Structure 1
C-alpha cells in the first residue's frame, strides 16, 4: 500500500532523539531540531503514499525545530505542508506570521524559512500532515503566502470536512485495496484545494472537481447521520443542500453507485453489522431493519439477500454461531 511506519522505541533509549532528528531531516526536509529531554524522547512516524500527495503522521515529545535559508538551499521538496494538530499544540512562524495551533490545521511552505515549537506543556504532540507539491496547488503563491502559519479552522466548514476525511482515511487505510489509495489521494488533494480556496475567500477558484467532491462529502455525511430516517430520499437530500435533484444525480454520475443505491448500501451495511453483534442477539430482525430506515421487512430481506447472498436470519445465525 506504500505505507512505512517507524518508532523510536526500536532503537536504544539513548539514541531515540537522534533517530528522530535524522529521520525528519532526511525524509521530510533538512532542519535543525533540539529538545530539552533527549533521554526520555518518544516518537512514531507513519508515511502513506496516496498518488499525488503523501499523508504522514507524527507523534513525538516536545521539540523546537528551525528551518533556515541555508536548510532550504541544502534541500527543498518544494511542498506545501498542511498539518492537522490532533493532540497538543504547535507554535509556528513563517513569513512574519506566527500562531499557536491546537486542534486546527496550519499551512507552511518548505521553500521558506520557518520555526516550530511543539508540546510546550511537556505533553508532546500528534500531527497528521498532508504533503502537497507546489505544482498541485493551483493558486498564486503570493496569495497563499498570506495563509502560511495561520490557523485554518478544522471544526467547521471545509476545514472540518478535510480534517474528518484525513482521520477517516488513516483509520480505514488497512481496508483499502491496492488501487484505492491512489484514488483517495486525488480526492484528498481536491478537498485540500477546496479548503485553501475557501480560506483565500475565492471558493470559485477551486477546481470544478474539488467543488464537486466537497459537495459530495457533505451529502455523504448527511446520509451517514440520517440513515435511520425512513424518509431519507434523493429529493430530501437535494432540498436540504439547496441543489436541484438533477444536480444531486450529477454528483454521482462518475461514482460506482447512484445516490439511491448509496443510501441503500449504507443502510444494509449498518444492519448487517448489527445482526452480527452478540449484544443485539435478542433484538428482532425487523427491529434492526427499522433501525436503519427499512419500513418493510420483506423488502429488507430481499435487498439483503441480493446484496450478500444470504438472508438476514442466515447471516445472523452464521455470525453468532459458536465454533
Structure 2
C-alpha cells in the first residue's frame, strides 16, 4: 500500500500473524475492491499527498466491524452500513476496531463526479448512510458487484463504471442538497437505475404496470417511457425480460425441481400458465417443461452444479476482475 498511486503508511498490533483479503474489480475509470482484514491503521501524511496525488475520491461501505477517521481536528466514527468518503488530496488517519473489518471500497476520479469540485470536496468526512435513500441504491449495487461478477461480460465493465459514477454523483448531490446542479444526463441515468431497481423488487406482482411505476417515482408515464426509449427499450419489454430471466433461473435450479412450473410462473408475475408458456417459448425457443427436463438430464449426467451451468441459453462472461 505504500507503493500505490495514493501511498499510505499502515500499522497494526498484529504484525506477527496478520490476515487480509482483497479483490480488485476494474470498471473503466472506477475501481471496486471488496476487502476483509484484521485491525489496521491507515495514515496518509501531507508528505505522501505531495509525493503522489491521483485526485481520487474513495468511498468505503462498512459491512462488518467498526472504524473511525480523522482529518486535522475533524473526527467521524462509522458503523455497519455507513459510507466513509475520503479524498487522495487530503491527509488523514483511519483506524479500525479490535475485530476484523469487511468493506466494499470504491475509487473514482474526482473529475468524473458531475458536481463542481469545490462542492464535491465538501462531502469528504460526511457520514453517509448506505441503508436508505440514494446511499442504499449505491450500496446495493456495490454489494451485488462484489458478490458475483460471473454474470457480466468484459464489455459490461465500462458501462458499469459509468453507472457507479453517476450514482456517486447522485449520492453526493443528495448529501449536499445540490440535485439541481447535477448534469441532466446524470440525473436521467440515476433515475433510470432507480426505476429498474424498483421493477426488480416488484417482479412478483402481476399488477406491476407503467402507471404504478411512474407513480412510485413521481414522474409521468411519458417521462418513464422516454427513460427506457433512450436505452432502446420499452418498459414492458424490460419487465418481461426480467421476469423470464428469473423463471429461467428457477427452472434449471435442481433445488426447485419439486416446485411446479405454474408455481414458478406465478412466483414471477405470470398468474396465467398459458401466457407464461407462450412468452417463454418466444424468448427461448423451448417450453418451460422442456427446459426443466433438459436441465434435470444434464444434472444427472454431469453432476448437479455443472448441469445447471450447461443449460444456460447464453454462456455468461465475466467483468474485468483481478
Match of 2:169 in 1: 193
CA distance in 2, matches of 1:272, 1:235: 27
> What pairs up with 1:1-323 in 2 under 5 angstroms?
24-102=1-79, 103-118=81-96, 120=97, 122-321=98-297, 322-323=300-301
CA distance in 2, matches of 1:287, 1:87: 37
Contact 1:79 1:132 in 2 (8 A): yes
Task: Answer 1 or 2: higher relative contact order, Cα 8 Å, separation at least 6.
Answer: 2
Contact 2:10 2:40 in 1 (8 A): yes
CA drift at 1:95 = 4.8
Contact 1:95 1:112 in 2 (8 A): no
Match of 1:13 in 2: none
Between 309-318 and 29-38, the greater mean CA deviation after superposition: 29-38
1:44-72 CA-to-partner distances (Å, cap 9, x unmatched) read 12222111212222221111121111111
If the length of structure 1 is used for normalisation, what is the TM-score? 0.87
If the length of structure 2 is used for normalisation, what is the TM-score? 0.87
CA drift at 1:172 = 3.5
CA distance in 2, matches of 1:85, 1:256: 36
Moved segments of 4+, more than 6 Å:
none
CA distance in 2, matches of 1:180, 1:256: 17
CA drift at 1:280 = 3.3
CA distance in 2, matches of 1:101, 1:310: 51
Contact 1:53 1:130 in 2 (8 A): yes
1:63-115 CA-to-partner distances (Å, cap 9, x unmatched) read 11211111111111211111111121121112532111122112111111111
Structure 1 unmatched runs, 5+ = 1-23
1:150-171 CA-to-partner distances (Å, cap 9, x unmatched) read 2111111111101111111222
